[in-house]
Amino acid sequence: MRKDFIFTSESVTEGHPDKLCDQISDAIVDHFLRQDPYSRILTECAVSSAIVFIAARFASDASVDLSHVARRVIQQVGYEQHDFNARTCSILTAPIELASEERFRFREHELSDEEIEDIPAKNQVTEFGFACDQTAVLMPLPIWLAHKLARQLSLARRNHTLPYLLPDGKVQVSVQYREGRPGRIHTVTVTASQTRDQAPDLKRLHGDIVEAVIRPAFEDEQVKPDGQTTIFVNPDGPFFVGGPSHHSGLTGRKNAIDTYGEYSRHSGKALSGKDPVRIDRVGAYAARYAAKNVVAAGLAKECEIAVSYAIGRARPVSVEVQTFGTGRLSEAEISALVTRHFDFRLAGILKTFNLRHLPASAPGGFYQRLASYGQLGRADLHLPWESTDKVRLLSPG
């Protein structure tokens, strides 16, 4: 277990171009699954100045207007500027309809264990699940704080507390650890895009961000900025306009933000834009579920679980547990418990979390809401993989 160090994680607002692409891609996934929960869909998005490009491959009984979905998301995020907005941006789509594969239109809730065993993964990937006792949601403190700051920055724009802000923004939080525990906030960095005509000078912007973003974000936190904390606000100078007019975006380019902020390992595979039959998406949820229950059960203060899948196999080829010297049991014993009580098979994950049917019960979008501010450790969403319902089975007593 690491002792004395400084660790930094970043997050971005929903208006960051990469996150805009993630939201468009996942909104398309939601629309397909809402009409046909057995849809197969893989969609990627790229944005640049006044242009959106969507590539989608799908096999489905649903009918989805890709351009309409994209424009709705752009409007929801708040892009109304002349340079980029939902009304005038050009949207290019490249849809490819595939033949339906009946073997993947199974009803997972009706399958026997033997039938679940017959449904293989279609992708090869190693997914990582992590949990630690640094926060109430068992996530690393740096990424938890980074997401809170990014949300608060967006809120200050949406509720017009800081009316000159635009949708694009990013934050960094550096936490100083002592004896392996969060000790103090070393540095906070906020970069906020602004309108040219209403933008305050940097001194006022610094004060506004401290009062409307940083203080509210840390209000309920035990570890807060102190007199020695360095706070940077737009350290590279004024950041006008931002968004796709300033820098391009692409689906799946913010994996660390989606997961653990680099505090733990994560797969190089993107999470957004994929239906739940993709093990390189849902395997990350299953691994987080197991790791969180291990920590919640008191078996370790930190737990990382690596689950590796091979094409054509239902069960993972390996499930590895690391507790970084914090375990109450040996890693081999914890691994045996995890393997016994968690189903890492594709159809088993779909059955446990009901992943293909969640968009139908979430009119505002299920996967789209995951596409910004993290897909793990969300306290604002009732995510099935954040449940700690296995604690009793794992508890050492």
Backbone φ and ψ for 122, nearest 5 degrees, come out as -100, 0
- Taking residues 366-389, what's their average pLDDT? 97
Q: Do 126 and 271 fall within a single domain?
A: yes
Q: Which of 212, 246, 280 is the last residue of a domain?
A: 246
H-type alpha helices, 210-330: 215-218, 255-258, 279-296
Q: Do 128 and 262 fall within a single domain?
A: yes
List, edge to edge, every strand of the sheet that includes 90-97: 90-97, 51-59, 40-48, 249-250
Q: What is residue 2's predicted lDDT score, i.e. its pLDDT?
A: 74
124-172 tens-digit pLDDT: 999 999 999 999 999 999 999 999 999 999 999 999 999 999 999 999 9
Indicate the helix (H) or strand (E) that contains 191.
strand 181-194
Indicate the helix (H) or strand (E) that contains 319.
strand 318-322
Q: Which of 246, 267, 284 is the last residue of a domain?
A: 246
Q: Which residue has the tokens 């242009």?
A: 51
Q: Do 303 and 384 fall within a single domain?
A: yes
Q: Which residue has the tokens 């995951």?
A: 370
218-236 tens-digit pLDDT: 999 999 999 999 999 999 9
Q: Do 277 and 174 fall within a single domain?
A: no
Contact residues for 75 (Cβ-Cβ < 8 A; gap 6+):
85, 86
- Output the average pLDDT for the chain: 96
- Taking residues 99-109, what's their average pLDDT? 89
Q: Do 240 and 258 fall within a single domain?
A: no
Q: Helix (H, G, I), strand (E, B), or coil: what is residue 241?
A: coil
- The one-letter amino acid code at 184 reads R
Q: What is residue 100's predicted lDDT score, i.e. its pLDDT?
A: 84
Measured torsion, CA atoms of residues 346, 347, 349, 355, in degrees rounded to the nearest 10: 110
Domain range for residue 237? 5-11+140-246
Q: Helix (H, G, I), strand (E, B), or coil: what is residue 201?
A: coil
Q: Do 261 and 211 fall within a single domain?
A: no
Q: Helix (H, G, I), strand (E, B), or coil: what is residue 372?
A: coil
State the first-to-last Cα distance of the chain, in angstroms, to the nearest integer.
24
What's the pLDDT band for 240 if we cut at 50, 70, 90? confident
- Domain count across the chain: 3
- Taking residues 1-5, what's their average pLDDT? 83
Q: Do 130 and 264 fall within a single domain?
A: yes
CATH, residue 354 = 3.30.300.10
Q: What is residue 197's predicted lDDT score, i.e. its pLDDT?
A: 83
DSSP character at residue 199: P
Please list, residue by residue across 43-61, b when 16 or more beta carbons sit within 10 angstroms of its beta carbon and e when fewer do: bbbbbbeeebbbbbebbbe
Q: Which of 229, 246, 263 is the last residue of a domain?
A: 246
pTM of the model: 0.96
What's the pLDDT band for 397 if we cut at 50, 70, 90? low
69-86 tens-digit pLDDT: 999 999 999 999 888 999
Cβ distance 137 to 379 under 8 Å? yes
What's the pLDDT band for 1 if we cut at 50, 70, 90? low
- Taking residues 298-303, what's their average pLDDT? 97
H-type alpha helices, the chain: 17-35, 66-77, 113-117, 141-158, 202-209, 215-218, 255-258, 279-296, 331-341, 346-353, 367-370, 391-394
DSSP string, 4-69: SEEEEEEEE-TTSHHHHHHHHHHHHHHHHHHH-TT-EEEEEEEEETTEEEEEEEEE-S----HHHH
Cβ distance 104 to 333 under 8 Å? no
Cβ distance 84 to 93 under 8 Å? no
Separation in Å, CA 325 to CA 4, 58, 214, 250, 320: 15, 45, 34, 38, 15
